[in-house]
Structure 1
Amino acid sequence: MLYGNFKKSAQHIDKMLNAQSREEVLKNRMWLKATIEIVRFLALQGIGFRGHDESSSSLNRGNFIEVLKCKAEGNDELSSVILDNAPQNAQYIAPSIQKEVLHILANRVRKMICDEIAGGKYCILVDEAQDESNTEQLALVLRYVKHDGLLMERFFAIEGVENTSVVTLKDAICVTLGRFDLSIQNLRVQGYDGASNMRGEWNGLQALFLKDCPFAYYVHCFAHRLQLALVAAAKDEMNIWQFFSHLTCIVNLVASSPKRLAELKSFQRDEIACMLSTGEREYDKGANQIGTLHRARATRWSSHYDSVKDLIDMYNASCRGTGRHFQQPDHITVEHQYHFDIFNSAIDLQLMELEHRFNNEVVELLTLSSALDPSDSFKSFNVEKICNLAEKFYPWDFTGQDVKTLKFQLMHYQLDVSSDPKFQNISSLTDLSRELVVSKKFEYYALVDRLIRLVLTLPVSTTTTERAFSGMKRVKTAIRSKIGDEFLADYCTGKLAEVTGVVPDDTLSLSSVTEATTFFKKLLKAKREGIGALGGGKAGIN
């Protein structure tokens, strides 16, 4: 009998051990796959992993274990290798295992971002804020153009820092970039907010980076600059300031009292019903909704518009709810009040703010960059301006010979793309960069493609860092305030990897920013010369 078993190779000890080993490998892979899927799902949704009581007798063992149990229902193979059916010393449900899996996933995302940059030029967008535990957190976002021409903005890391001194911030950024072999010499743009420790010309963060890389230009979010110019002008013009002060008082008066808020909605409901019955309003899907008043926020000028619009829509209901009416003095005409006392004064103040917040270097960079704008069939295209852009602002990337070659490429490029139907409906640099790669024209216009990629790293706005902090606040809440910095960084990387990526056509393009900065200058010139929309005539006074 022993001889018979010896002849059966399948029963040899090495074969049996190998078969058992393969079975264990399959079981481990099944468990690991389920764990990775659950960790990724929880991180993406911003859901906590652990529970208050994770013992086997608990009715709720935490999100991770409960989702694992739910996943195992109806799957006998998975159910047989997890939790109570797994060896007691190898259940792999400990928090350290969950953190390790999340850390591996986060590093894979960061490695993928580095592979997409692939030694190219990039921009850093940085901002800092306090988390729920009052720890200063530094959010780092990378903006770059992939090899296939797609413009990307990726959340890269969030680092806890002891303080917000420029040396501490710079060290944290350099350590994070160096950990993934991203060279500071390839940095071309720094995007920060307007805080003094960021924008300081001598001792600010941007100044420290400029010492290492002289052409890593500092860009204060253009959209934020325009916003600040409008807000500052509104505060300096007394009539506008009084208007928004009264508006804020009205909103606070209504919103601070549930009773007055309910009365406002009741008055509004009666007014809408009356207007529908008289035909002043039409029935339509989504129309005639009962709303409320919204506060104007200093960092979002659109919120001022929304707040004013809400008050206009609910003016009668607001007057009934607050018991107040507002009226201009009768001795001043409407034309004089708005044309001279308010409008002209506001234009002057806004021009002063624009001159202050958009210095000559920034305006020149924007103006020269807009020469690459493909909208309106390349209407803004200008060879001399583009060559000047490369020579003055990107000397590290274009030698003197490169600039001469660029000029000849631009001449051929202008004739080629203007006659190519594929480029006729392109309206943004993002689409242009992508189409150059798809059509393979970037091979013939390599220097033009290089310059377009450099210009695309200029951030019009830095909203991605704000989204990072919004994601952080949803992760590190009051009941999860003890999350460590590394776990928080990995958590945010997993959560924000899916919501940051391809940058669509910028709502506020470089060319539109240039137009906005010159718009008020034209208005002021027209006002002074007594022509155009601000043209002459004297308003009468009763």
Structure 2
Amino acid sequence: MAVVLRYVDKLGFVKERFIGLVHVKETTALSLKHAIDELFARYNLSLGRVRGQGYDDASNMSGGFNGLKTLILKENSSAYFVHCFAHQLQLVVVALANKHFEICKFFEEVSDLTNVVGASCKRIDLLRESQRERLQEPGNQEMSIARAGDTRWSSHEKTLLRLLTLYPCVLDVLEYIETSAWDKIHKAQAYGLQLYVKSYKFVFYLHLMKHILGVTNLLCVALQRKNQDIINAVELVRSTKEELQRYRLEGFDSLLKDVTCFCDKYDIEMINMEDEYVDPKYRRKKTNITNRHHFEVNNFNTVLDMQIQELGNRFNELAEMYPRDFTFDEKDDLTDELGHYIRNVKKDSRFNNLNGISDLAKKMMETRKHIDYQLVYRLMKLSLVLPVATASVERSFSSMKHVKTELRNRMGDGYMNDACICYVEREFLQQVSIENVMQRFQKMKPRREQL
């Protein structure tokens, strides 16, 4: 288990620091809670000082009855739980794919496509060879089709962008498999994928989801910054919903234009939007709607409405307060202090052009206004320490593959923990001189020679 602390330092800067790996024999909530207690005791930290906890949505972590967050809340009711925003954003994509039939089928076909094209080294080499032939300009970098995963942030958008770029190369590989594969199942699979990939609806969903995931990916990247605060994150979620709403109202015609250009470029059969829509399952049954109605109302509007609604449903745990951090008298004083603070800051030009509450906290420390307005600054710190995403934890956990490799696979937990801390917190390690390391090593025990 990787543990990262988020705090506001003495200069008003938000910090996220990896403090170590903890070996746990099992991943039950009780076992994880016991491991955290031992870690806090080792570093003389108090769980009562914690004001926020953030995990993904696994039941052992965020379960409402016996999850880790519930066990900590029983001991400290001010340690509010915030479900990792980046995980929630990824779940929005997954939930959308599961709820809308056409989008669900689209992602299933894309998954099959990436598996077939990347199934062997020979097929990957064919893809690269096709790239070299089609993209002969110097400086073009060879690319492969990335597999999308529910637990890998931004992977869906990356897959779709690669498909758009490598579309003709992918068709070349599918045609080769259909004509040259010895297995009839592989031939049939490649033939079926070609039919779907060359269809108008595939191109439509490819461009639609590429745009939606592009909008949400900007939010995903922003949420993973270490100094991101929850107030700014809420604003980013709001602006993302507004951008999706704007695209729903104004974006269909521009989407059709992009789809038409793509179809013309790769000789894909177009659909007349004014013709009557034919349901592939019931071709003889009249639908009494046009193709435009099907693609705009049943798909474009529906998909975006689901995306906007899902964003609203996922990000809803921000109404908590910290009543125990302010006494009854301080709550009354805070209202008056806020009034004085706002009037004072409006007249101070040093507070112009600040970007978010994090910059405001830094400026309060620089101007020493945190001394005059202690309650306001305490309120700021509480909002800043709430975790936004577990990106720092994920990066720390991923660092183990760089530390514990196949050639270094017998290191113990203590050595691996120390090595991971050095790897993750490199900026601190760079401040330690080699001379200091040698002196400490020399003083640990008597040695035959002086280093």
- What is the TM-score normalised by the length of structure 1? 0.56
Deviation of 1:265 (Å): 2.7
Q: What do the CA deviations read for 1:400-426 (whole angstroms, capped 9, x no partner)?
A: 221222112212222222333322221
Q: 1:302 aligns with which of 154, 157, 172?
A: 154
Runs of at least 4 residues off by over 4 Å? none
SS in 2 for 1:144: strand
Query: Contact conserved, 1:230 with 1:301, CA < 8 A, in 2?
Result: no
Matches within 5 A, 1:321-340: 321-323=173-175, 324=194, 325-328=197-200, 332=277, 335-340=292-297
SS in 1 for 2:66: coil
Is it true that 1:156 corresponds to 2:19 in the alignment? yes
Task: Determine the C-alpha separation between the residues in 2 that align with 1:340 and 1:300.
Answer: 31
Q: 1:364 aligns with which of 316, 319, 334?
A: 319
Matches within 5 A, 1:450-465: 450-465=378-393
Task: Determine the C-alpha separation between the residues in 2 that align with 1:465 and 1:498.
Answer: 16
Query: Contact conserved, 1:234 with 1:346, CA < 8 A, in 2?
Result: no
Is it true that 1:223 corresponds to 2:86 in the alignment? yes
Tell me the equivalent position of 1:264. 127
Deviation of 1:351 (Å): 5.2
SS in 1 for 2:329: helix
> What is the percentage of aligned positions where both structures have the same residue?
39
CA distance change for structure 1 residues 173 and 405 in 2, over 3 Å: closer, same or farther? Answer: same
**Which range moved further: 244-253 or 455-464?**
244-253
Q: What do the CA deviations read for 1:423-451 (whole angstroms, capped 9, x no partner)?
A: 22211222221111011111121111111
Deviation of 1:194 (Å): 0.9
Is it true that 1:350 corresponds to 2:307 in the alignment? yes
Task: Determine the C-alpha separation between the residues in 2 that align with 1:239 and 1:233.
Answer: 10
Tell me the equivalent position of 1:99. none
Task: Determine the C-alpha separation between the residues in 1 that align with 2:428 and 2:305.
Answer: 39
Task: Determine the C-alpha separation between the residues in 1 that align with 2:55 and 2:357.
Answer: 23
Task: Determine the C-alpha separation between the residues in 2 that align with 1:268 and 1:480.
Answer: 37
CA distance change for structure 1 residues 315 and 499 in 2, over 3 Å: closer, same or farther? Answer: farther
Aligned residues: 324
Largest Rg, 1 or 2: 1
Task: Determine the C-alpha separation between the residues in 2 that align with 1:491 and 1:295.
Answer: 31
Matches within 5 A, 1:186-335: 186-273=49-136, 288-300=140-152, 302-323=154-175, 324=194, 325-328=197-200, 332=277, 335=292
Task: Determine the C-alpha separation between the residues in 1 that align with 2:414 and 2:126.
Answer: 49
Query: Contact conserved, 2:86 with 2:153, CA < 8 A, in 1?
Result: no
**Which range moved further: 170-179 or 250-259?**
250-259
Unaligned runs of 5+ in 2: 176-193, 202-270, 278-289, 430-451
Task: Determine the C-alpha separation between the residues in 2 that align with 1:337 and 1:289.
Answer: 39
Tell me the equivalent position of 1:81. none
Tell me the equivalent position of 1:384. none
Q: What do the CA deviations read for 1:245-274 (whole angstroms, capped 9, x no partner)?
A: 22222222222233332332333333334x
Tell me the equivalent position of 2:355. 427
Deviation of 1:348 (Å): 4.4
Matches within 5 A, 1:525-540: none
Task: Determine the C-alpha separation between the residues in 2 that align with 1:356 and 1:481.
Answer: 43
SS in 1 for 2:19: strand
- Code of the residue aligned with 1:195 in structure 2: it is A
Tell me the equivalent position of 2:265. none
Matches within 5 A, 1:369-388: none
Q: C-alpha root-mean-square deviation of aligned residues, in Å?
A: 2.3
Task: Determine the C-alpha separation between the residues in 1 that align with 2:426 and 2:108.
Answer: 41
Query: Contact conserved, 1:192 with 1:198, CA < 8 A, in 2?
Result: yes
SS in 2 for 1:140: strand
Query: Contact conserved, 1:155 with 1:500, CA < 8 A, in 2?
Result: no
- What is the TM-score normalised by the length of structure 2? 0.67
Tell me the equivalent position of 2:178. none
Matches within 5 A, 1:34-183: 138-183=1-46
- Code of the residue aligned with 2:331 in structure 1: it is V
Task: Determine the C-alpha separation between the residues in 1 that align with 2:352 and 2:418.
Answer: 43
- Code of the residue aligned with 2:302 in structure 1: it is S
Q: What do the CA deviations read for 1:212-234 (whole angstroms, capped 9, x no partner)?
A: 11111111101211211221111
Task: Determine the C-alpha separation between the residues in 2 that align with 1:352 and 1:495.
Answer: 41
SS in 1 for 2:20: strand
Unaligned runs of 5+ in 1: 1-137, 277-282, 366-392, 502-542
